Structure formats: C-alpha cells, structure tokens
Structure 1
Amino acid sequence: MENKYWVPAIERADAVLRLIAEHPGGLRLIDLSRQTDINKSSMFSLLNTLEKLNWIRRDKDDTFRLGSALGSIAGGYFKSNDLISSFHQEASQTKVKLGETIQLAELIGSEVLYLAKEEYPGPVRLTSEPGMRLPAHSTALGKVLLADLPDERIAELFATEPFRSSTPNTISDRRSLARELNRVRELGYGEDLEEAVQGFHCIAAPIVRQGKVVSAVSCSMLKHHWEAKRSFVLTELRMLASRLSAP
C-alpha cells in the first residue's frame, strides 16, 4: 500500500501478530522470521517490544503466543460494537427456539471474521469462536457476504485457483463460486453443505444497514438434522437478521 503516512514498523508488527494468531500452538523467532521475511535481528527487537507491551508472551519453549493486552483490546471492541450487543440480546432467544448455535460474522478480505456466538448446549460443540477466521468461499456466512460484492472485487479476492479446501465439498474454482453467489443473490440466503466442516450443514442470512450487507448470521447443525429443521431455521434466521438490520 502506497501512502506517505504509512508506518512500516506497525505493518511488520501487524504481520507478526496475525501470523501468531494463526498458530495457537506458538511460533519461534526463526519461524516468524522465515514466514515474514523480517531478518532475525529486527524480529528480535520487534518481539521484545511486543512482549514488554503484553501483546505477545514467550513460553518456556521459546515459542510466542498472543498476550493478554490483545485480549483486553478485543474485549473493548466487542463491548463497544452495538451490533454485537444486539446480536447477543436477540440471538439468545433464537438459539432456544431452534435448539442450535447461532453465529455472527463480517467479511475481511477473502475470509469471514467471527464476531459473536450464542451457543446452544449440546453433545457437539462448534469449534469456531469470536476472533477466528475461515475462508469465505467455504462457509454460508462468507457466501452471503461475498454475494454483496461486485464481480470485479470477487475476481481480485480469488485470483488464484484452486481455492483452499476444508472438505471434499468445498468450492475450489471461480466459475463454481460465481454460480453459487448468483444463487445466493436470487434466494437471499446462503448454504454450506459440509463445505466447511464434514458432518455439518449451515444456513446464513445477511444483515443490511443503509442498503449494504455489513454482516451475517448463521445457524449450523448436524447433517442428519438438516431436512427436518432447515425450513424452520431459515424462517427464524431471516427474522433475526431483519431485527438486526437498520430500519
């Protein structure tokens, strides 16, 4: 990005933090240096600064993980987001009606960022949590959010084929993705049939504010519940999305 006010040091710190976030098991200095192309001397100084600020922590095995300061910052963001607050209030009732977990997400580039989750207690628990990212093309949430973008932007985001696959059912090429997004635009909702996680189906509906899709809500369920619950879930999910959308 060309900008005379751009601060390269912050860009490097951002790259390091994002990389550590993608590896919960931790990464060593040499791993971070190799994957970011930042030399070891600069990486040492960067990690030392981030550690002193509690943005990261160093474990006994000399691996680095995210630190407590980021948790506080994230907590402040979630508390200040009125959509997240409204989601918890509204979705807490919807999850009881459906007997399923409800999630909220937004689009960040070619990925969905999970913002909030209202979990229904059950024998099987979804692994996705607020703060996690997943490829947009493999999720119902992502399809709904991508469907609001112009074709030119979709082409930019998915320039490289094949796409990353989570299961054998994941869409892996632009032509298939274009067909699926056209279907989402026609129907007004998106589906994921074992494309993100095997054994699970998911349905998602858009949240529209000021004429633009800003986020989406979804409901995931075990595959064998799909036929019996799909219609009811879709109705309730659309009602939830409507309540969360601005008038």
Structure 2
Amino acid sequence: MIAKDPAKHKLIDLSKRLEINKSSMFSLLGTMEALGWVKRAAAGDTYALGHAFAEFGSSYLKQYDLHQHFQDEAAPVRDRLQETVQLARLAGDQVLYLGKMEAVSPVRLHSEPGMRLPAYVTALGKTMLAQLSREELLALYPQPELTKLTPYTIGHRDELFAQLDAIREQGYAMDDQESVMGFRCVAAPIRSGGGEMAAVSCSMLLHQWEVKAAEARDEMIGLAERLSVPTNT
C-alpha cells in the first residue's frame, strides 16, 4: 500500500485497509521505521518507503546476472514450448546473441552465442530497436534502403520504422522468414534499468508456428518480464 501510494496513508488508514488493529500497526510501523523500510512525513503523519529500498535495489543490480537468470528462467519455457529460446542484446545496429536454450529438434537454428545479425532482420532486433527514439534510429539507418537477407526481409527504412511503431504499441515483435527461410520468430524486450537493451525470442518452423504462435508470444512476454529489472529499483 505504501509503495503504491507514498505519503498518502496515515496509521489509521493502514490499520483499517489491512485489518490490523491500531496498536499492532503502530508497533509494525515503528519497527519498519527503525529498519529504514518506511519513513514518516514530518507533517501529516503519512508514510512513504524508506532509504533501505534504495540500498536493496542497488545491491540487487550489482549482483544481477542476466545470463544466469536467463538460464534458470528459460529452461522451463523451452520445455513447455518444445522450441528453442534465445537471449540477445543490441550492439549498435546489430543483434548480439548471448544465450540459447535449445530444444531437441532435427533442425537446428544457425544462431549461436557470440553471433551477430543485422537488427532489422530479426524479431529480437526489432523489439529492441522499437525502444529507441527516431533520432537514434536515423543515426543507425542513414540510408533508406536496407539489404535483404531473404525475399521476406524488410527492404526500406520507412517500412521498418512503421513496424517499430506497431511493435512499440503491442510490446512484442515478430519476423516471418526475414532472417532464415522456413522459420518464424517472436520476441519481447527485457527492461534492464541500466540503459543496455536485451530481449528474448522463440523461433520455430512454419508448421509449428501455426499451432504455437499465441502460446510462444505469451511465453516470451512473460519470460521478458521475469528477466526485467523492476524500474522502481
């Protein structure tokens, strides 16, 4: 309650809303004040979060290992989908692959950790490019023509920018055989809180896509949310 509405609730408000009697609430708030978890306003006797949460957030960010977190979280997603899940970050105008949880399949994706691809040809890249401003995008793509990797690759900057507007609204990106023929992919952005952009994706053969597209989209959005660093830290 305090985090959601800082400096709004008094002791009596918290007591009523949480159904904790006033004496117990007084004791709880006193302890939390002493620990730095909450602070009481000088005027009005309302409560807000204390300095301890800034320290917790700083410690969390220092120990946060995105790659290890990905390994832990992506494995059950791969097992549910029975499809390969990948992690990447944006490196200029390219996607740099960081991690891969590979599903058992007779067909392997050619992308491996350390590999780079043009960002505009992948769902991973497009979902990260969508986080940039128009000025940043124009700096990355000063020329209107884009090189095609497949017949389905976006060939013009205006088409790319229009797609990025839609991706920004919907919160995920897809590519339809734009980097590899025979594969479709869905990706969602990870909010790192530190300026570096990352994303997760799931790629699959066309016949699997017809069956699993909605499930894969929801799984990627959920995975990206779990891997994101909360902005209030």
**1:60: which partner in 2?**
none
Q: Does residue 188 of structure 1 match 2:171?
A: yes
Partner Cα separation in structure 2 for residue 90 and residue 108 of structure 1:
23
| Matched-pair contact (CA < 8 Å) for 1:145–1:213 | no
Describe the superposition over 1:13-42 as per-residue Cα deviations: whole angstroms up to 9, x where unpaired: xxxxxxxxxxxxxxxxxxxxxxxxxxxxxx
**Corresponding residue for residue 87 of structure 1:** 70
Q: Is 1:239 matched with 2:222?
A: yes
- 1:209 partner SS: coil
1:160 Cα deviation after fit = 2.1
5+ unaligned residues in a row in structure 1: which ranges? Answer: 1-79
- Separation in 1, partners of 2:155, 2:139: 15
1:186 is displaced (CA, Å) by 1.0
8 Å CA contact retained: 1:208, 1:214: yes
Q: Is the 8 A contact 1:137 1:143 kept in 2?
A: yes
Q: Which residue of the partner structure matches residue 144 of structure 1?
A: 127
The TM-score normalised by the length of structure 2 is: 0.69
**Structure 2 counterpart SS, 1:124:** coil
Deviation at 1:238, TM superposition (A): 1.1
Cα offset for 1:211? 8.1
Give the % identical residues: 49
What's the TM-score, normalizing by structure 1?
A: 0.66
Aligned residue identity for 2:100: K
Tell me which amino acid in the other structure corresponds to 2:216: V
Instruction: Map residues 1-247 of structure 1 onto 2, 5 A cutoff.
Output: 82-210=65-193, 214-247=197-230
Unpaired runs of 5+ residues, structure 2, are 1-62
Deviation at 1:173, TM superposition (A): 1.0
TM-superposed deviation, 1:152: 0.8
Supply the RMSD in Å over aligned alpha carbons. 1.5
Higher RCO by CA contacts (8 Å cutoff, separation 6 or greater): 2
One-letter amino acid of the structure 1 residue matched with residue 138 of structure 2: A
AA of the residue aligned to 1:116: G
Q: After TM superposition, give the deviation of residue 164 of structure 1 in Å.
A: 1.8
Question: What is the identity, as a one-letter code, of the residue corresponding to 2:199?
Answer: A
Structure 1 residue ranges (4+ consecutive) displaced by more than 6 angstroms after TM superposition: none
Q: Distance in 2 between matches of 1:81 and 1:174?
A: 36
Q: Is the 8 A contact 1:205 1:238 kept in 2?
A: yes
d(CA) in 2 for partners of 1:212 and 1:183? 22
Q: Which amino acid aligns with 2:224?
A: A
Structure whose alpha-carbon radius of gyration is higher = 2
